[in-house]
Homo-oligomer: A and B are copies of this chain.
């Protein structure tokens, strides 16, 4: 069931106190960063609408909103790589969520087959430009 989240229009109230009042954007979304609860690496960045955030809180399994498919997205539903929420926090202005989680299945977060979506480092190409290099 989708939680009826509080709404706090005053930024000062949103960034202090104990009221969970997600600041959904014009598309009804907050941004969510997922890190590996064990090694601290950033696994992925995705978005949540109120339903996805509700399901995440109620089930302990990360749910998102797929902007490309325009649908609720239970990560790992087909791959088996569900993300169990170990810790979940919001930021000062409550327009972002941080989940420290553990991935089930084969431990892969990225649809490319890499563990993390952030598998390429931005590096100088020596000519004033920049290109990407695999991290491992």
- Name A residues whose Cβ lies closer than 8 Å to a Cβ of B: 3, 15-20, 31, 33, 35, 39-42, 44-45, 57, 87-93, 96-98, 110-112, 114, 117-122, 124, 129-133, 135
Q: Which of A18, A90, A120, A122 has the most CB of B within 10 A?
A: A122
> Contact check: which of B17, B33, B92, B135 meets A42 at CB < 8 Å?
B33
A110-B92 Cα distance, complex, nearest whole Å: 8
A121 touches B89 (CB 8 A): yes
B33 touches A45 (CB 8 A): yes
> Contact check: which of B44, B87, B92, B135 meets A117 at CB < 8 Å?
B92
B89 touches A45 (CB 8 A): no
